[in-house]
Structure 1
Amino acid sequence: MRTRQLDLAACLFRSLKPGLIAALVLLGAQWQCIAHEVRPAYLAVQENRTGEFEVLFKTPMRGDLRLALTATFSGRADALIPVTTRTTSDAAVQTWRFKAVDPLRGQVVAIAGLENTMTDALVRVVFLDGSSWVRRLTPQEPSAAIPARQSGWSVAALYLKLGIEHILLGVDHLLFVLALLIITRGTWLLVKTVTAFTVAHSITLALATLGYVHVPSAPVEALIALSIAFVAVEIVRQWRGHEGLTSRAPWLVAFTFGLLHGLGFAGALSEIGLPEGQIPLALFFFNFGVEIGQLLFIAAILGIFAVVRRVRCSWPGWARLAAPYAIGSIAMFWVIERVAAF
């Protein structure tokens, strides 16, 4: 009976495959667009001499189009070097230097045009004495006053929130966690698997952020997508009665691929930037935020699983294969897209 159901599922999938794959490709592309849209702009202001500041302003691009954003300061300033612009694969980078006629502390920094977008802007100001100020500007609050000092608590709160948002908006990381939840059997084994994934990505996040490990981001992102496809295949194999490595030791697979996902987190954190003098604090709370977001997602999925089990319904045999096929198809779309971008 089980074999017949699986054969029926395979036949149904083959009959629906063209439309299903097209829909998943469109869905993957939509998620990719969303991911690009929410990438933050970044404004870094560094005081190199007393009253003289070097500015780097990075704004996201979509194709050849740059978000119409402009960084402004409320005080008077004299330009030392005019604005120069260069482009990367996904951003426009502007640099210039100015001398502050009015002290920069106490001025209002604003990102003009941010209110018309769906993205945020991270502002980081480093002063000559080593002190720094970090603030996230949003479409609802596109400006902020630079205080005399920034407390450690404000840095902790900012990076905690950034960590939570990063994991909850990181669809690839969430799909990997979802695949692990589907294939893992037993509460204790699930705890071991989630713990292994957490420990692994915490290790590589810290090592890469602190500069001990340097890995190009493009291959890492492609391998992250491949890790999702691998677990999706393992789910199908498990349900067909072929127990693979992930079924027997999901914690080992979670730890191994978790090292890759940690490098992905580090790449995102490098784009955000870390405040000078408070790097360990910001790193700790960003990672803590990632863990909180991950646990929230796991709790939500386990709640959904519990509700589905309570529903008295005769599910067709092919229904259980919908999730791994969808996860695997989206993951392979990402693999192809990310490899093509090398």
Structure 2
Amino acid sequence: MRRLLICLMALAAALSATLPAFGHEMSMAEMQLRETRHGEFLWQWGAGEKRPIAQDLTPVWPQACAAEATMLRCGEAGLAGTLSVRGVGERYSAAVVRVFWLDGQTRVYTLTKAQPSVQLYGAADDPRGMGEIASAYTLLGVEHILGGIDHLLFVVGLLFLVGFNRQLVLTITAFTAAHSLTLASSALGWLTLRAAPVEATIALSIVLVAGEALHQRNTAARRWPALVAFLFGLVHGLGFAGALQEIGLPENHLLVALLTFNVGVEIGQLMTVGACWCLWRLASRWPAARRMRTALLYMIGSIAAYWSWLRITAVLA
């Protein structure tokens, strides 16, 4: 067992060196179109992290539009028709298209692998249906939580702390209620905090939960795990809101987009809990597998401690 623990600690150290400090960032690409006069737009991709976005994504303009370098000409009909992006869902999980219209209005469209195209109507009016927006933002919520390693490690830590019993339902519900509250408050502009302290607190929450799950002492976290989940869930919700701010919210059906993004997050969270329950049922058949519990918690705690150090350094820098 000791040798296994040492090996897993070494593996955690290796993973910490390769995992990003900000474990839940989405790979977002952003395009801006700015109308200079009726039917003519300046367009460009934002800066890619390692290489130009144009190497991975290719816009397919409406049929009446013609692109020349950074100029898009659509004629009298304006920017009307189907806009799609080839390659979305591969290197980039989503492409955000921001259109700045001549009258000063702005519209944001989010394209994903499941919904790689959007219908434009030549003006700032955005008559997209509620179902179209709900589908896109639900998928984005699922992608975000499943790609958010730090959020998932916190949920797994709660499972180790509480176990699969009735108390787990209350604990997960408290976490859900808390991050839903701060996600909505931040997305609607009612609450704003700097990203760096939020990220550092998220990492520290994983360290705390992993540490509490390692021992059997009757601490406050063991007596009231739902309270711990609620308090840290408030911070995790701010992390979700940061991703949602990068994506943008449509001005029409804003509440639908916000709600369905949160629903997507919950779907991904329940998928994680379900997968862990299946693994737990399988492991319960082999007594030797129970020895892995301590090693896994040390692994989770080590990765989170590394993130904490990096993120606290970013706060102080």
Deviation of the 1:304 alpha carbon: 1.3
Candidates 258, 267, 279, aligned match of 2:254:
279
Gap runs ≥5 in structure 1: 1-7, 84-96
Gap runs ≥5 in structure 2: none
Question: Counterpart in 2 of 1:58?
Answer: 46
Post-superposition Cα deviations, 1:137-174, rounded to whole Å, max 9, x if no partner, equal: 44x98666535742111000000111111111111101
Post-superposition Cα deviations, 1:159-218, rounded to whole Å, max 9, x if no partner, equal: 011111111111110100000011114622111100000000000000000000010111
Checking the alignment, whether the CA contact within 8 Å between 2:12 and 2:300 is kept in structure 1 is: no
Candidates 294, 297, 310, aligned match of 1:337:
310
Letter in 2 for 1:24: A
Superposition map of 1:121-270 within 5 A:
121-125=95-99, 134-138=109-113, 146=120, 149-185=127-163, 187-238=165-216, 242-270=217-245
Q: How far apart, in 1, do the equivalents of 2:175 and 2:46 lie?
A: 32
**SS of match in other structure, 2:83:** strand
Q: Residues 190, 272 of structure 1: CA spacing in aligned structure 2 closer, same or farther, 3 A cutoff? A: same
Checking the alignment, whether the CA contact within 8 Å between 1:160 and 1:288 is kept in structure 2 is: yes
Deviation of the 1:279 alpha carbon: 1.2
Are 2:1 and 1:23 equivalent residues in the alignment? no
Deviation of the 1:260 alpha carbon: 0.3
Q: Residues 48, 335 of structure 1: CA spacing in aligned structure 2 closer, same or farther, 3 A cutoff? A: farther
Are 2:20 and 1:32 equivalent residues in the alignment? yes
- Report the RMSD for the aligned CA atoms in angstroms: 3.5
Identity score, percent = 37
Deviation of the 1:332 alpha carbon: 0.8
Deviation of the 1:98 alpha carbon: 6.7
**SS of match in other structure, 2:199:** helix
**SS of match in other structure, 1:41:** strand
Q: How far apart, in 2, do the equivalents of 1:185 and 1:337 lie?
A: 30
Q: Which moved more, 1:328-337 or 1:104-113?
A: 104-113
Superposition map of 1:320-335 within 5 A:
320-335=293-308
Checking the alignment, whether the CA contact within 8 Å between 1:77 and 1:100 is kept in structure 2 is: yes
Q: How far apart, in 2, do the equivalents of 1:218 and 1:44 lie?
A: 26
Deviation of the 1:243 alpha carbon: 2.2
Q: How far apart, in 2, do the equivalents of 1:191 and 1:141 lie?
A: 33
Q: Residues 190, 61 of structure 1: CA spacing in aligned structure 2 closer, same or farther, 3 A cutoff? A: same
Q: How far apart, in 2, do the equivalents of 1:40 and 1:260 lie?
A: 22
Q: How far apart, in 1, do the equivalents of 2:53 and 2:21 lie?
A: 14
Candidates 109, 117, 123, aligned match of 2:83:
109
TM-score normalised per structure 1 = 0.76
Letter in 2 for 1:122: V
Q: Which moved more, 1:35-44 or 1:218-227?
A: 35-44
Post-superposition Cα deviations, 1:17-74, rounded to whole Å, max 9, x if no partner, equal: xx65453233234442996995110224466875465757434314xx4444577545
**SS of match in other structure, 1:146:** strand
Q: How far apart, in 2, do the equivalents of 1:116 and 1:265 lie?
A: 22
Checking the alignment, whether the CA contact within 8 Å between 1:229 and 1:331 is kept in structure 2 is: yes
Checking the alignment, whether the CA contact within 8 Å between 2:29 and 2:92 is kept in structure 1 is: no
